[in-house]
Amino acid sequence: MLSVLKRVSTGLLTLALLMPVAAFAQESKVVPQSRQEMQLSFSPLVKQTAGAVVNVYAERVVQRLNPFAGDPFFEQFFGQRMPNRSEKQSSLGSGVILSQDGLVVTNNHVIEGADDIKIALADGREFPCDIVLKDERVDLAVLRIKAREHFPVLPVGDSDRTEVGDLVLAIGNPFGVGQTVTSGIVSALARNQITSGDFGFFIQTDASINPGNSGGALMNMNGELIGINTAIFSRGGGSNGIGFAIPSNLVKVFLAAAAEGKTTFERPYVGATFDAVTSDVAEALGLKTARGALVVRVVEGGPADRAGLKPGEVVTAVNGIAVEHPDALGYRLTTAGLGKQAALTVQTADGERQVTIALDTAPETTPRDERMLEGRNPFAGLHVANLSPKLATELRIPAEKAGVVVTDVARGSPAARYGFEPRDIVISLNGTSVTTTKALEAMLDDDPGFWRVEIERDGQRIRQFFR
Residues with a known catalytic role: 109, 139, 214
CA–CA dist 187, 204 (Å, integer): 5
Q: Using alpha carbons, list the distances in angstroms from residue 174 to 94, 154, 229, 302, 341.
A: 9, 20, 12, 45, 41
10 Å Cβ neighbour count for 290?
A: 16
CA–CA dist 50, 121 (Å, integer): 10
Q: Which residues of 429-463 are buried (b: 16+ CB within 10 A; e: fewer)?
A: beeeebebbeebbebbeeeeeebebbbbeeeeeee
**Contact between 454 and 431 (Cβ < 8 Å):** no
CA–CA dist 12, 154 (Å, integer): 14
CA–CA dist 422, 410 (Å, integer): 10
Q: Which residues of 144-172 are buried (b: 16+ CB within 10 A; e: fewer)?
A: bbeeeeebbbbebbebeebeeebbbbbbb
Closest CA to 197 of 249, 248, 136: 136
Count of positions (residues) in the chain = 467
Please list the residues that pair with 248 across neighbouring strands. none
**Contact between 96 and 216 (Cβ < 8 Å):** yes
10 Å Cβ neighbour count for 278?
A: 11
**Contact between 169 and 207 (Cβ < 8 Å):** yes
CA–CA dist 394, 2 (Å, integer): 29
